[in-house]
Amino acid sequence: MDTNQPTSLGLRMRDPGRAPQARPGRRRAKPLIRSAGIRFALIYAVVFGISAFALAFSLWYSTLGLLQRQVEAAIRNDATALSEHYQQGGLNALVIAIHNRLSDTVDGDGIYLLVDPSGNRIIGNLDTWPKGLDEIGAWYQLPVVRQGYNSVALLRATAIPNGDELLVGRDVRARSELRNVLRYALLWALGLMFALGILGALLIRSLFRRMIRDISTTTRAIARGDLTRRIQKTGDGDEFDELAEIINDMLDRISRLMDGVRQVSNAIAHDLRTPITRARTRLEDASLHAHSAEDLQSAIERATLDLDGIVGVFEALLRIAEIEAGSRRAAFAPIDLAPMLHDIDELYRAVAEERGLYLETIIADHLPLLGDRELVQQAVANLLDNALKFSATGTTVSFIARQDDAIIEIAIADRGPGISDEDRDRATERFFRAESARSTSGSGLGLALVAAVAQLHNGTLHLADNHPGLRAIITLPARLDTPFRK
Amino acid sequence: MRILVVEDDKDVAGFVVKGLREAGHTVEHADNGRDGLFLAASENFDAIILDRMLPGGIDGLRLLETLRAQDNATPVVFLSALGQVDDRVKGLKAGGDDYLTKPFAFAELLARVEALTRRGKSDGPTTRLAVGDLEMDLLSRSVRRGVQKIDLQPREFRLLEYLMRHAGQVVTRTMLLEGVWDYHFDPQTNVIDVHVSRLRQKIDKPFDLPLLHTVRNAGYMLRSEEV
């Protein structure tokens, strides 16, 4: 009949099959930097290394700085004391004081040298004025020859009022050695820290791997088709537990959907077989047994009606699928349901009156909603269709739409046979038809569509007993940022 | 009327062409997009029936967009197996005047094509409609038949207005649902029949000559007998 239809169906059928081909066949060894475990571990190692280095460097720097300041203070005090000796007792007193210091501290670090203006040594434990020491009052660190062996000293020269110059200093060779020791120690420590960092990184990586291994094996099993697998929770309530829970919820939903698909395909196969059989039988019967052109004509017309019914079922199914896919949410617009509901009421009131039913309608003045007008319209129309269809003459159908704070509630209740408790949960499934409804016309898709529309709008469809009859309640979240909010 | 059918499926095209000719129209047929575009652009048609998925490199949407870009305003009815709301919206956005989903009833297609060509002709706002002795004043929103004034509810008025604007043409139930109630789906109950029968009570019942006729397997038609 139509070549377009098989093409589009074919496309639709092929789509899911294409997905596995697009996926890489095997998990190949990936570059190390691609591994999140390695990346986290490296980040850990780098942060650890930088902080260790900063710690070591500040330790080194402050220790040496403290020593330097201590030596400088000692030299300064010493020089001041000697200057005072000179002021009180002149040059002799100074020479005696220096002599005392030299003899007191035989193995000491003190360095003294007093020279006259022409540079000749008067007293001191240095043989000559160190080279390079030119400025009075400045700090110098110079190599000196002291009692025959080489050393390093921190030195400062002071001018004596009579023109002599006094050099006071401290041997800091020991301090240099300390610095070396410290440097080596810190270098060792750094090496150790580096090793520890790498070790920690490896530890983190294996921890990380172990934590995601369960997730990845489970999901891989599911990708292969084993939908029963679930991720084990550690029970610690940590982030990985949370992730596991989210993934498990997702898997539950996927498997529910898969069940739904399976059930729907079965239902399609089963529920469409009946009308197709009927149409086919009618046509075949007519071609074999029709005695007149009128017989043939009427058989063809009835078969066409049957086929239209099948097309209607297909369209309803596609529409539900379209709604459930959620793509219509992009077309949501701010609407006021009230005028639209009045229109539906007016449309169905005539039908109700013709059938001798009372339609009691109460619709609030404003019912602001962010949604799809056409879909809500169809959902409400479906419920009214149902209510009118199952009502006996003389009974009342009530149609109430109101807003309760953030909730819009549209309730349609009839006094018909209703739906039994055990069937009520399944009533919104596709193709489900309660026993009592088997004899009436209908596809069994009406409530499924209503439920899908409600869900698309983040609302619900609730079916309740109307004692007797059915009360169907659609709740939808109202649009609150609206000028006509009460 | 001169109608162009662009449809690649032989059976569907043959069926549509035959039906249109039986209804008294002159029909040209193209079975691919390129020929369709050539015909549509080079000759004058009163309406084009256009499939969406066509061989020949140019699909229905492209064909129509090209045509509209050339300021060709020939009414176009899409006839497509693509039936989702988005498809419909796309078709109308591209410049289509109506959209019919396959499978379809020929009566529906014919009614819609004829309704479109009528719509294309009427330019300038009308203030008064008349069918036989039934008159409608759109400004004062009053309806008279002969000398008798008829009181209508607002919706009945719109229903009658729609029927009168398409007087002499078949109007299907779906067209009424879309045109009068702005519904784009089929209710399970016979809501339209109920409303039409109420309208009939008011405009036909008290008079000898019925104006509102039921067309079997198709819909309704408002016409005075002489048409």
Domain annotation for chain B: domains and CATH numbers? 2-121 (3.40.50.2300), 128-222 (1.10.10.10)
Q: Cβ contact (<8 Å) for A343 and B181? A: yes
First to last CA, chain B: 17
Q: Do domains A33-219 and A328-477 have the same CATH topology?
A: no
- pLDDT at res. A425: 79
Q: Which residues of B touch A347 (CB under 8 A)?
A: 181, 183, 187, 191, 195
Pick from A229, A239, A249: nearest CA to A207: A239
- Mean pLDDT lowest for which of A259-273, A396-410, B16-30, B103-117? A259-273
| Interface contacts (A, B; CB < 8 Å) | 79
Q: Cα–Cα distance between B194 and A458 in angstroms, integer?
A: 35
Backbone angles phi, psi at A143, to 5 degrees: -75, 135
**Closest chain A residue by Cα to residue B184:** A374
- Listed by start position, the domains of chain A span 33-219, 230-325, 328-477
Helix (H, G, I), strand (E, B) or coil at B59: coil
What does the pLDDT read at residue A20? 42
B86 interfacial to chain A (CB closer than 8 Å): yes
Specify the pLDDT at position A107: 56
Does pLDDT of A382 surpass 50? yes
Residues of B in contact with A308 (CB under 8 A): 105
pLDDT value of residue A477? 93
Give phi and psi for B7, each to the nearest 5.
-155, 130
Q: How far is A46 from chain B (nearest CA, A)?
A: 53
> Per mean pLDDT, which range of A227-241, A273-287, A452-466 is the poorest?
A227-241
Check whether A440 has a pLDDT greater than 70: no
Which pLDDT value is given to residue B37?
Answer: 92
| Confidence at A439, pLDDT banded by 50, 70, 90 | low
- Would you state the pLDDT for residue A435? 63
Please tell me the pTM assigned to this model: 0.63
Mean pLDDT of A86-102: 85
pLDDT in tens, chain B (227 residues): 899 999 999 999 999 999 999 999 999 999 999 999 999 999 999 999 999 999 888 899 999 999 999 999 899 999 998 888 888 889 999 999 999 988 888 999 999 998 887 654 555 677 888 888 899 999 999 999 988 999 999 999 999 999 998 988 899 999 999 889 888 877 877 899 999 999 999 998 888 888 999 998 889 999 887 54
**A11 pLDDT band (50/70/90 cuts)?**
very low
Q: Give the pLDDT mean for A228-234.
A: 79
Find chain A residues with C-beta within 8 A of B217's C-beta: 301
The mean predicted confidence, pLDDT, of chain A is: 81
Of A311, A328, A378, the CB nearest to B185: A378
The structural architecture, per CATH, of the domain A33-219 is 2-Layer Sandwich (3.30)
Closest CA relative to residue B50, chosen from B111, B105, B92, B84: B92
pLDDT range class, residue A12, cuts 50, 70, 90: very low
CB A272 within 8 A of CB A279: no
Inter-chain touch A374–B105, beta carbons under 8 Å? no
Give contacts of B198 with chain A, Cβ < 8 Å. 350
B77 bridge partner residues:
B49, B98
In what helix (H) or strand (E) does residue B172 lie, and over which residues does it extend? strand B171-172
Architecture of domain A328-477: 2-Layer Sandwich (3.30)
- What is the C-alpha to C-alpha distance for residues A352 and A345, in angstroms, rounded to an integer? 10
